[in-house]
Structure 1
Amino acid sequence: MNQSARNREKDPEGRMPLAEHLRELRSRLAKAVLAVLVVTIAAAFFYKGIINVFTRPVLDSVGCPTSFADLAKRTADTTCARITINGLLAPFTLTLKVSLMAGVVLASPVWLYQLWAFVAPGLHRHERRYAYAFVGAGVPLFFGGAYFAYKVLPTTAKVLIDFTPHGVDNLLPLDDLLDLVTRMVVVFGLSFEVPLLLVMLNLTGALSGRRMLGRWRGTIMSITVFSAVATPSTDPLTMLALAAPIWALYFSAVVFSLLHDRRKARREAEELGDDETSDLDLTPYDDAN
């Protein structure tokens, strides 16, 4: 039996010395990095397909025609973009970037679990059971936000490419396009994680459900502004496609927090009531007996 297991047996709350805590952190980081590295190496063999998946929506939306049929449909006012690669080392560095991006995204279940497994011992015993629920909810939420980013990307590219002067082809470096896609995927994915963060703060007692509910107007406005900036489209349906799920997730977090606060208050009241109503023996003690 290792030292970590013995410490957990001695302390039912899972507390450990600082040195053991640092060793635990090193172990969790090593497992997370190893998972990302393995997925990155595997993704390197399929990087061309990954690039095609990310660039296809943009090419279908704003790409310059490559066939005679598409060229015949183009008018003088049509603006298009042509994807390019500059430099001899650019394809190699692009392969590394795409593979690493895929490794971080696809290995997210592993490193999210390692993160929560490291944080869980700092929680109370009744709070640790939420660690698996957080990981199980965090991964699909992140991929849900990434999916929305992927769906609005063609419309975003169309709006941005329209700023190009008429009659001028836009040369779009492939690495710049992938950077844009990556930023949108990460921002959208993390935005879907915000309600989960609010639930975590509520479970740790840092934020109450009533306080979250009292600020719903400002939160709704902030989500709306974020959606309008993240989806630069004149179509309000595109903006609502992003804002509506985040609204729903936010109010779901508020409802969960209110129920948790009510259950916590009821439990504390019952414990306090048991202490107040406990029978006390007030009979004088007789030394003679």
Structure 2
Amino acid sequence: MSDHKPDELEGTEAPFVSHLIELRDRLVKALIAVAVVFAALSAWQWGWVGKPVLTDLLAAPLVASLTGSAKLIATGVLSPFMVPLKVTMIAAFMIALPVVLYQAWGFIAPGLYSHERRLVLPLVVSSTVLFYSGVAFCYFFVFGKVFAFIQGFTAESVTAAPDIEAYLGFAISMFIAFGAAFEVPVVVVVLSRMGIVSIEKLKEFRGYFIVLAFIIAAIITPPDVVSQLALAIPMCILYEVGIIAAGLFNKHTRAPEDAEAQ
């Protein structure tokens, strides 16, 4: 008898067109999820509350740091209308992010072995939690420290009244930066599990990553020490978490034949 074991994926190949159709269906479902959340948030804001409270919530950390009765201003003709819509759309996408990632997981799952599928779902969940954690850390901690630091340099003869669209762009870029930075453990786990980098190499690269983290923080954050440290230090900590998690994932998602060989 032959010792050749049948491939789990044998016979599961699908034509290219069917892949495109499934991808389209998955994208439509993800967009529907975002649209439903957007409609619910819009109805809640303008139907129930009567004002764009999400915009006020986003602006709260900056407004709290402004002196006197200063507020944000809208210099564009359409800014009072467009900015709340953009904020609501961003909030809808973030709330619907688990559904979006689930659709992505559903698309790639058929092409994975059973032991690899055990890796993907935890990564989807952890990616969502880590991204939310990065955004929350940025909003509740970093914004307050950064804006207070910046306002401390404002001359008494100057009244700070930032433009709401400029602030929206700044907030989005910071949310993306911190959300992506908090994904460091996921990246480390994936690189290790795919065999691209060994755990030993990741440990050896630790010193270089610390330098890299501070360089990245200096590039994508405002030119102040507070925000740079607030991004670089969590990245270094999360890198260590990623190394530990990679060892656990490698152990529990090993292929059956690899486990038997150990």
TM-score by length of 2: 0.81
Question: Helix, strand or coil for the counterpart of 2:174?
Answer: helix
Match of 1:224 among 214, 228, 233: 214
Contact 1:209 1:257 in 2 (8 A): yes
Q: CA deviation at 1:196?
A: 0.6
1:24 corresponds in structure 2 to 22
Q: CA deviation at 1:187?
A: 1.0
**Range with greater deviation from structure 2 (166-175 or 188-197):** 166-175
Asked if 1:55 is matched to 2:59, the reply is: yes
Q: Which amino acid aligns with 1:112?
A: L
1:276 corresponds in structure 2 to none
2:5 corresponds in structure 1 to none
Q: Which amino acid aligns with 2:194?
A: T
Q: Which amino acid aligns with 2:150?
A: L
For residues 169 and 113 of structure 1, the distance between their equivalents in structure 2, rounded to whole angstroms, comes to 47
For residues 247 and 212 of structure 2, the distance between their equivalents in structure 1, rounded to whole angstroms, comes to 22
2:129 corresponds in structure 1 to 140
For residues 266 and 15 of structure 1, the distance between their equivalents in structure 2, rounded to whole angstroms, comes to 22
Check 1:111–1:26 CA distance in 2 against 1; reply closer, same or farther (3 A cut): same
Q: Which has the larger radius of gyration?
A: 1
Contact 1:202 1:208 in 2 (8 A): yes
For residues 216 and 84 of structure 2, the distance between their equivalents in structure 1, rounded to whole angstroms, comes to 31
For residues 251 and 124 of structure 2, the distance between their equivalents in structure 1, rounded to whole angstroms, comes to 25
2:68 corresponds in structure 1 to 65
Q: Which consecutive unaligned segments of at least 5 residues does structure 1 have?
A: 1-9, 67-80, 274-289
Question: Helix, strand or coil for the counterpart of 1:171?
Answer: coil
For residues 183 and 238 of structure 2, the distance between their equivalents in structure 1, rounded to whole angstroms, comes to 9
Contact 2:222 2:228 in 1 (8 A): yes
Alignment of 1:190-205 (within 5 A): 190-205=180-195
Contact 2:184 2:242 in 1 (8 A): no
**Range with greater deviation from structure 2 (241-250 or 149-158):** 241-250
Q: Which amino acid aligns with 1:98?
A: V
1:110 corresponds in structure 2 to 99
**Range with greater deviation from structure 2 (83-92 or 157-166):** 157-166
Q: CA deviation at 1:127?
A: 0.6
Match of 1:152 among 134, 142, 146: 142
Q: Which amino acid aligns with 1:186?
A: I
For residues 270 and 134 of structure 1, the distance between their equivalents in structure 2, rounded to whole angstroms, comes to 25
Asked if 1:209 is matched to 2:199, the reply is: yes
- Provide the identity percentage: 32
Q: CA RMSD in A?
A: 2.9
Match of 2:238 among 249, 252, 256: 249
Alignment of 1:154-173 (within 5 A): 154-173=144-163
Q: CA deviation at 1:225?
A: 3.6
For residues 255 and 200 of structure 2, the distance between their equivalents in structure 1, rounded to whole angstroms, comes to 13
Asked if 1:36 is matched to 2:22, the reply is: no
Alpha-carbon displacement from aligned partner over 1:204-244 (angstroms, at most 9, x marks no partner): 33332222222111112222344456365455xx6555444
For residues 154 and 108 of structure 1, the distance between their equivalents in structure 2, rounded to whole angstroms, comes to 26
For residues 204 and 127 of structure 1, the distance between their equivalents in structure 2, rounded to whole angstroms, comes to 10
1:179 corresponds in structure 2 to 169
For residues 11 and 149 of structure 2, the distance between their equivalents in structure 1, rounded to whole angstroms, comes to 55
Q: Which amino acid aligns with 2:175?
A: V
For residues 265 and 97 of structure 1, the distance between their equivalents in structure 2, rounded to whole angstroms, comes to 45
Q: Which amino acid aligns with 1:54?
A: L
Q: Which consecutive unaligned segments of at least 5 residues does structure 2 have?
A: 1-7, 46-50
Check 1:123–1:51 CA distance in 2 against 1; reply closer, same or farther (3 A cut): same
Contact 2:181 2:231 in 1 (8 A): no
TM-score by length of 1: 0.74
Question: Helix, strand or coil for the counterpart of 1:172?
Answer: coil
